[in-house]
Chain A
Amino acid sequence: MKTWGKPMNMSGDIRVKTDKKYKNLYNDLKNLIVGDMHELFFLCACLGYKANKVKDLGSNAEERFWSRTITPEEYACYYAMMLEKNNMDLSSIRDDKLVIAEMEKYANGGMEILLEDFLNEYCSADYKLDSTYSKELPMALLHFIRDKLEQ
């Protein structure tokens, strides 16, 4: 017997993972260019998806934040990405764990883009931010996003 689920499941019990090497970066960028970790994750996922850059976390996966912090709009975007990727097969969004797992790969790829194309000026090789320049990062990030839109 099937149970009736609620629309847009948006599961909050999932531990969202990122590459462990980005732990400091996630912590540093939180409050600096974004309000919370889920926003940075969303940015990276969008970047990765746009560039179709998927990178498996493999054994480097490390739990970063709870999925309950993801906003409905972000979830809607994740589902949209999954649907587009799977030719609008609605069953692709049935399981939020699979959706998040897929997004983790995009976010991982997206973080590489962010590092290569944006944070390299502000960040050392071991992913430490240079605080001297970090004050203006929100402005630089908007410029970066705007540039990406034009590509």
Chain B
Amino acid sequence: MILEKITMKDFRQFRGVQNIEFASETENDGKNVTVIFGENGRGKTGLFRAVVFALYGERRLSQDEEAEQKELYLVNSAAMEDTKTNGKPVEAFVELVFRHKDQKYTIKRSLLGVFDKDERIEQVGSVTLFHTNSDGNTLAFNDPDDIRKTINSILDKNVKEYFLFDGEKIQRLTMASIEQRKEVARGIKNLLNVDDLEKAINALQRLRKELNTELSKRATGEYAKIVHQLNQLDEKRNKLKAKLEEIEDEYAHLNVEKRKIDKLLEEYKEIFHLLKERKDAETQLKSEKEQTGNLLSEMRARTAKASQLLISSTIDFVFDSIDQKKQKGEIPSEIRKDLIERILDIDHKCICDRPVLPGTPEHSALIRWKNKVSDVELEDSALEIWRSLSSIRNYREDISGVVETLLQRYAVCRNNIEKLRKKIESINEQIGASERKDAADLEKTRENIEKKQIRIEAERMTTKSEFDSVESEYARLSEQRKILEREENIRNELSQRASLAEDTYKALQEVYKGFTEEIKNRIAIEANKYFVQLLDKEGLETLSKILVNADYSLQILDRWGKPFLANISAGQRQIMSISFIAALAKVASMDSILEMPLFMDTPFGKLSYEHRKNLIKRLPSYCAQWILLATDTEFRKQEASFLREGGRWGKFYVLRSEGPGVTIIQERDIEEAQSLLHENMGETNEYVWRYTG
């Protein structure tokens, strides 16, 4: 696939109809490089989106993982604003013209943008594909499914990210993860067209199973037993294989989650001390609140006792009065009232038997006594009241003290709570957006993911070991079966067919293994060639070679032959990945240049000056077409000069802002680049001097 032209209407920042013609060696002029230059926010990634949208109808890029779907609009915002006044929907489209194997293709995809009240809605519209073959006949396709199949046959959706990529994504190819291994493996298989071989292997596997099932039904004796065991092992092996895949998928999923968290954590790094401070303040606040709750409960429990304080003077007065009566001996009475009443009213004689009759002095004396004393029960009550009041008086001071203390402690707590609330409020203001407030939980989630990964890894090892032992048992029994067939002369048609299927299956697996092994080795050799050419001086001193492992993961060795991947820089990772892609393209095209574009969005951000220089000088000859979306900080006068020197730079476009959300594409002469671009600054100049001088 070689891209020739892209036309956009009201797509992302590109208002109205605008187009870009890519340098594509159509006139055999050797010009295959297009530079699209724009400052951040001018629409470079929008252009990248346009290519992906036109080819695959995908609204999202891999870097959009975090973004909310609703936040991503493809229809030009300025055009959408107009619909608010005229009420008509905006039809945006992208049309991409490309050629593949001398045949021309034009794909056009549209989408509609409307406002439903205040909500912005985008709807994917029609898609058409025109295919002009080498005879000049043109076929039109409208069925999305047909179009998808055609485009996938040209550039498989699964490998598109090897050729259409953003700077960050390319670096991920070097991350040693199961996810990456799968991605690389899928990419290699697609590019090398080994799909058919895989299909044949799968078909043979099914046939073998059917034949063995049939055979186990018909066979007898020891032979039947072995066939039955083989069938069982085969089933077990398939289950274990599926389980391994599941485990790897889960592991990969966890990796994605972990990366998302890491990204957020990186973003939240600056606010971590604030989060910790806020957590401490929240803990203190909780404790203060609990304390106020306890204090209020204590206060409630003391309301009744505090109420007693209101009648302190009454309590004192009554206590003193009874106390005085006690002192005087009036309570309890020296003579009980009921005894006097009995002498006066019933017995009419004293306890000494002396008569006490009305009118006598004795009678009058007793009447006087009777009037002085009270009921015995009332006297007892008075004494009981005196004791109770005494007790109340004793702890009165304590009650007053406790009330004061409780009120003071409560005031302190309230004050603390107020201070803590203000502190938390101030921290929240510093932290900013509410979604960032949950960052503190991220560390914990990450820890849990890692724990889960350790568990899954252990499960993977156990399952793998079980799988290996089933494999070896299967091989042993297969051998035994063959011996039995020979010894017992079992040569019926069914057993012969089963044997043949088994042997063909094994042979194909060997072919597959050998082929992919060879390809893997060739990719490694080619990747190393590119790597050496692209790597800077320092890297060459430290790093020795790229390894493509059996599971297609990438590794790099240091000068002492030790694995060094974890220690290399982001820029070195990027160079390593680009080397791998170039090697893959070369191997897939059978040592010529693969007819695929390299469409790179802002790829130089993490590259040192020398890496950048090497890439600019050499990449045009590694690929059939190079489309470079570059920003002002990575593409300056020096980079332009290197590119011009290579003689392959054919087209130069500048993305210019024309008001908010509107970008105009301007084609410029490459000779104009020097006057348009910035100077290389600072230490880079020294580098320029050293390497160009």
Q: Which residues of A contact B (CB under 8 A)?
A: 2, 4-9, 32-35, 39, 42-43, 46-47, 49-50, 71-77, 79-81, 83-84, 88, 90-91, 93-94, 135-136, 138-139, 141-143, 145-146, 148-149
B378–A94 touching, CB < 8 Å: yes
Contact partners of A138 in chain B: CB under 8 A: 296-297, 299-300, 303
Q: Would B309 and A145 count as touching, CB distance under 8 A?
A: yes
CB-CB under 8 A from B302, the residues of chain A are 142
The 0/1 profile, CB within 8 Å of A marked 1, for residues 294-310 of chain B is: 01110111111011111
B257 adjacent to chain A (CB < 8 Å): no
Cα separation A19 to B503 with both chains bound (whole Å): 103
Cα(A93)–Cα(B315), bound, Å? 15
What class of interface size applies to chain B in its complex with A? 35 or more
Docked-complex contact A77 and B303, CB < 8 angstroms? no
**Contact (Cβ within 8 A) A142 B403:** yes
Q: 9 closest A-B pairs (Cβ-Cβ)?
A: A76-B388, A5-B377, A7-B380, A138-B299, A7-B384, A90-B378, A46-B310, A80-B318, A8-B384
Contact with A along B319-362 (1 / 0, CB 8 A): 10110000000000000001000000000000000000000000
Query: 28 A-B pairs, CB-CB below 8 angstroms?
Result: A7-B383, A34-B304, A43-B303, A43-B307, A49-B310, A50-B310, A73-B308, A73-B391, A74-B304, A75-B388, A77-B308, A77-B315, A79-B381, A80-B318, A83-B318, A84-B314, A90-B375, A90-B379, A91-B374, A91-B375, A93-B381, A94-B375, A94-B378, A135-B296, A138-B299, A142-B303, A142-B403, A146-B403
B: residues with CB less than 8 A from A are 295-297, 299-304, 306-312, 314-315, 317-319, 321-322, 338, 374-385, 388-389, 391-392, 403-404, 406-407, 410
Query: Closest CB of chain A to B381's CB: distance in Å?
Result: 5
Known pairs A42-B307, A142-B403; A73 contacts B388 (CB<8 A): yes
Grouping DSSP codes into helix (H, G, I), strand (E, B) and loop, the A interface class, with mixed when no group exceeds half, is helix
Query: Which partner residue on chain A sits nearest B310 by CB separation?
Result: A46
Give chain B nearest CB distance to A112 CB in angstroms: 15
Contact A33-B385, Cβ < 8 Å, known A76-B392, A83-B318, A84-B314:
no
Q: How far is the CA of A145 from the CA of B304 in the complex (A)?
A: 11
Name B407's contact: one of A2, A76, A142 (CB within 8 Å).
A142
A127–B601 CA distance with the chains assembled, in angstroms: 73
Q: Closest CB of chain B to A1's CB: distance in Å? A: 10
Which residues in B have their C-beta under 8 angstroms from that of A43? 303-304, 307, 310
Nearest opposing residue in chain B for A48, CB measure: B310
Q: Which residues of B contact A49 (CB under 8 A)?
A: 310-311, 314
- Distance of A47 Cα from B310 Cα, bound (Å): 7
Contact B318 A84 (CB under 8 A): yes
B321 touches A83 (CB 8 A): yes
Give Cα A38 to B314, complex, Å.
Answer: 20
